[in-house]
Amino acid sequence: MKTLEDYREAGSDLYNRLHLSTYPIAIQYIQDMDEVPEGVIRPSIFGQKLSLCQAFTQSRRWGTHIVMTSADNFCTPATAFHGWEEISVEDLIESQVRQGWHSDIEAERRRIEGGLNLLKTHEGKYCGFISSPLPETVVIPDTVLIYCDGAQLTHLIHAVSYEYKHVPLSSFEGYGESCIKGGYAPFVTGIPQIVIPGAGDRSFAGIMDHELAMGLPAFLLFYVLDNLFKSGGDMNIGYPMRFLMPTNITETITPGFQFLREKMDEKK
């Protein structure tokens, strides 16, 4: 059984070895507010609301420990998808039709009914989550969410699929990527997920253009660390990446280079 300190050390190790620009996030899903440790911030206590992806930004960039429930979350579709409030499928579909995300009501029905089927095994069991910077986490996580660049994501994929037992299986739609795909889906399915941050992520949470992410069932964090940079052996591309560089180049590669070389040689 891994301890809180095990997760903190693993979070620091991952942060340092991959040179991540922000902290990995520990996410724990809660069934009751009594589970929330002291010192964890709740936005609604201060008369504020955030989106779930904004809570992740608070944790990974500012080191904030934060709890999010329906009362703390202004992104009501995310609340509905997590099952934190009782809402009909028809009302959820109608809310998305009014947003205009997809072509028509049938497109939204296909999207939402498929998504709810994926997540319904945990429907109604949880009322929120705690988001905490992994190197200083105050909770044992259910999911670890790692924001990264493309090269760092390549290493994470190599590590988690090193024995080809835990290969990420992801679909993409550009909405609900961080909160559902990055947080909830790995917890529910036990399968790592690749995240391409969506419209809400980028407009609300300040996610950079270059940023991607991976959501891991928390038990795979240690597996990833065990296998990090092993793929390819001595040929591993490393981080910072080791690129193949052309050799045997001379000044003849461009007319200008050659002209100056000849002038320099004339003066010798």
- Give 88-105 pLDDT, tens digit per residue: 889 988 988 898 888 999
Minimal CA–CA distance to 173: which of 151, 152, 195? 195
Provide the mean pLDDT of the chain. Answer: 93
* 241 within a domain of the structure (yes/no): no
Determine the pLDDT at residue 110: 87
Percent of the chain beyond pLDDT 90?
Answer: 78
pLDDT by residue (tens digit) across 7-21?
A: 999 999 999 999 999
CB-based contact 108:102 (threshold 8 Å): yes
Q: Is residue 130 part of a domain?
A: yes
Radius of gyration of the chain, Cα coordinates, nearest whole angstrom: 23
The answer to whether 146 and 216 are in contact (CB under 8 A) is yes
- The count of C-alpha atoms lying within 13 angstroms of the C-alpha of 91, restricted to the half-sphere facing its C-beta, is 8
Give a yes or no: residue 198 inside a domain.
yes
Q: 180 lies in a domain?
A: yes
Residue 89 forms part of a structural domain: yes
Cis peptide before 133 (omega within 30 of 0): no
Encode pLDDT of 75-91 as tens digits: 999 999 899 999 888 99
Query: Does any domain span residue 244?
Result: no
Burial state string for 59-79 with b = 16 or more CB within 10 A and e = fewer than 16: bbeeebbbbbbbebbebebbb
pLDDT above 70 (res 64): yes
- Residue 253, domain member (yes or no): no
Q: Among candidates 158, 157, 159, which has minimal Cα distance to 170?
A: 157
- For 161-218, where are the alpha helices, taking DSSP H only? 185-189, 199-204
Strands (E), 32-124: 66-69
Residue type, 156: L
Element (H, E) at 227: helix 221-227
| Partners of 133 in the β-ladder | 25
Q: With contact defined as beta carbons under 8 Å apart, do 204 and 54 qualify?
A: yes
Burial class (CB in 10 A: 0-12, 13-18, 19+), 149: middle
Does residue 209 sit within a domain?
yes
Rounded to an integer, what distance in angstroms lies between the CA atom of residue 72 and that of residue 88? Answer: 21
Taking CA atoms, 100 is separated from 78, 108, 131, 162, in Å, by 16, 9, 30, 41
pLDDT for position 120: 64
The domain in which residue 204 lies consists of 4-235
DSSP-derived 3-state class of residue 131? strand
**Number of domains making up the chain:** 1
